[in-house]
Structure 1
Amino acid sequence: MIQPSRRPPDRETDRNETQGESDCDAPAAWTEAHHLKPWSEGGRTNLANMVLLCPSDHRRIHDPNYTHERLPDGRIRFTRGAQTG
């Protein structure tokens, strides 16, 4: 089963967060599936390459101002990078 990340959306935290694990407790029915390696780049649609994210975390995982890594327990850690422009 794909596990959702476990952090409720919190706009103030998102603006100020520099690093942290996503601990969203959104029910799986409210999440969106995400390919860690994009399907368009040969990423497979399987449990090893998929994660369920709440809409807020799904936007953040595509935000170029953040990097992410999958932790051994399946959670996603986001790190805010340097702002450009």
Structure 2
Amino acid sequence: MPGIHIDVAPWGGHRQRLVNARPVPSRFTSCRYPEGPIPVTVRLVWERDGVELARGRATGWTRRLVLVEVVDQRLVVNGVWLPVVDVRRR
């Protein structure tokens, strides 16, 4: 059938869920500017690709979670809440 290519991945087929991501907490502290976000290295656990260490910027936190800005085409958004144990300052 013209216009249909079975060898092309569907739109959004590259998207993946982060297994270690957590829901947005009800209350958190944001980074104050002008200091800005804190450079961090994060441990990401993808549903298909597995464990990966990536660079990001911490922009908010609670006692147990850190909001990290991670730009990756597999994510729908650029920010993800991760457990504190998965985030380290650079």
TM-score, length-scaled by structure 2:
0.28
Structure with more helix by fraction: 1
Structure with more strand by fraction: 2
Structure with greater contact order relative to length (CA < 8 Å, sep ≥ 6): 1
TM-score, length-scaled by structure 1:
0.29
